[in-house]
Structures are given as structure tokens and as C-alpha cells.
Amino acid sequence: MPIIAPSLLAADFGNLQAEVEAIARAGADWLHLDIMDGHFVPNLTFGPDMVAALRPHSHLMFDVHLMLSRPEAFIKPFARAGADYISVHAEACTHLHRTLQQIREAGCRPAVALNPATPLTVLDHILGEVEMILLMTVNPGFGGQEFIPAMLPKIASLAARLRESKLDILLAVDGGITPETAPAVCQAGARVLVAGSAVFGSSDREKAIRDLRQAGAVNRIQV
């Protein structure tokens, strides 16, 4: 069964406490929080104070995705705010190895995110430092974009590499994940499905989460 991580980016920003509570009742496994700085990506969202304000209203795993040019400057604030996983973009980190260690030192689970155009070779020397790899299946910055099919062989190739490495690292995908695209990404080896519009945009979120989970599970059995 894939882990379902609805992205708060597609929630009603005027009603965030209720949205966070509702998504847990609807059966979400994690909550994915997209942090954008208007520089690394062409959009702005919210910061650590917002994450801290939501933390008391949810027991879900907080999966914080930092789309920031200088993520190292914000690790401690997000750790204090209650992040569980913190993902930093490899493209934004001059000292990726050090930044991942700082995430662990701050008491969080380190993760690396890769843009669609970034090759898997950037992971060559840091696999021992991460608990999750987040492969972007759209160019980051906005919800509701279309899944990029050319990411399927990338997912499969990373999954094969992780199996060989025997390290316990989760493979997550983010962007354009729907019940239509979930079977192929899970067959390729994704274990965490981040989905914004497919979940928060649905009138029946419980069904949306169930549909995603089933779409991912069916194909894993067929593998």
C-alpha cells in the first residue's frame, strides 16, 4: 500500500485548521506542506509560523517540502515548528551533505527532492544521509500541473538502485499524482504519493484518498 500524503497547497487557505483536521478524518497518512520562497520557485506559500500553528491540530506526519534557495537557513525554524520529514532540493544546496546532516541534528528525518531535469547521479554520495527521496513529477511551484511521463523511467531506475543498496529509503513522487497516474508510478516503485488537487480538490476526499491508495496497491500486487 502506498503512503498517501495530501498536499496542503490545494487546501482552502482561509480555513486551514479545519482542512488539516478534515484530511486526517478522510484517511490521509501524512500531510505534505509546500514551502515556497518566490525565488527558487515562482510562487510563495507560508513559513514556519504557519506550520507551528497547524501542528497542535494534527497527529499526522508533517512532510515539509522546502522549495527555497537557502534551505539551510530554515531547518531549525521548521524543526521547532514540528516538521517530521524535511526535504531540501539538491539544486538549492551547495553543501547538500552538510544540510542533510543539519536536518538530522535538528531532530527531523532528512530527505532530498529532485526537479524533473536533475539526474539521479546527484544522489551518488549522500544516500547514507537520507530517509526519503522526493522525485518531482512536475516542475515545482504550482499545484494542478500535468504529470510528466518521462519521469517513469527515472522512478524505476531509482527504485532499482534503492533495492540494490538495501538502505531503508522511501521513494516519494510529487506532482500530477491522480488515480490515473498512481498505478504507473507505483508500478515503477514509488511508495509515497504526494497529491494536492486530486485530494483537496475532490468533493469526497475520503474516496479520493481510497482511490489513490487502491490505484497504487493494485499495480504493486501485479508486479
Q: Which set of grid coordinates corresponds to residue 83?
A: 516538521
Task: Output the CA–CA distances (angstroms, integers) from residue 189 to 26, 122, 157, 164, 217, in the order listed.
Answer: 25, 19, 9, 13, 11
Least separation in angstroms between residue 113's CB and ligand DX5 is 8
Residue 10 or 162 having the CB closest to ligand DX5? 10
Please report, as ranges, the residues that interact with ligand DX5 according to CB under 6 A: 7, 9-10, 32, 34, 65, 138, 140-141, 143-145, 174-177, 194-198
Q: Which set of grid coordinates corresponds to residue 62?
A: 508533517
Least separation in angstroms between residue 58's CB and ligand DX5 is 17
* Residue 196 binds: one of ligand DX5, Zn ion, none (C-beta under 5 to 8 A by kind): ligand DX5
Residue 65 or 161 having the CB closest to Zn ion? 65
State yes or no: residue 213 binds Zn ion (CB under 5 A).
Answer: no
Query: Scanning the structure block, which residue is given the C-alpha cell 521548521?
Result: 78
Say if CB 71 and CB 39 are below 8 A apart: no
Least separation in angstroms between residue 164's CB and ligand DX5 is 28
State yes or no: residue 34 binds Zn ion (CB under 5 A).
Answer: yes
Least separation in angstroms between residue 196's CB and Zn ion is 8
Phi, psi for residue 87 in degrees, rounded to 5: -100, 130
| Inter-axis angle of helices 205-222 and 16-25, nearest 10 | 50
Burial class (CB in 10 A: 0-12, 13-18, 19+), 220: middle
CA 131 – CA 187 distance, rounded (Å) = 21
Residue 144 or 153 having the CB closest to ligand DX5? 144
Task: Output the CA–CA distances (angstroms, integers) from residue 37 to 41, 45, 46, 128, 216, in the order listed.
Answer: 7, 7, 8, 28, 32
Which active-site residues does the annotation give? 34, 174
Q: Which of 10, 23, 40, 65 binds Zn ion (CB under 5 A)?
A: 65
Taking CB atoms, the residue at the shortest distance from ligand DX5 is 196
x/- mask, Zn ion, residues 167-206, rule CB under 5 A, reads: -------x--------------------------------
State the residues that interact with Zn ion by CB under 5 A. Answer: 34, 65, 174
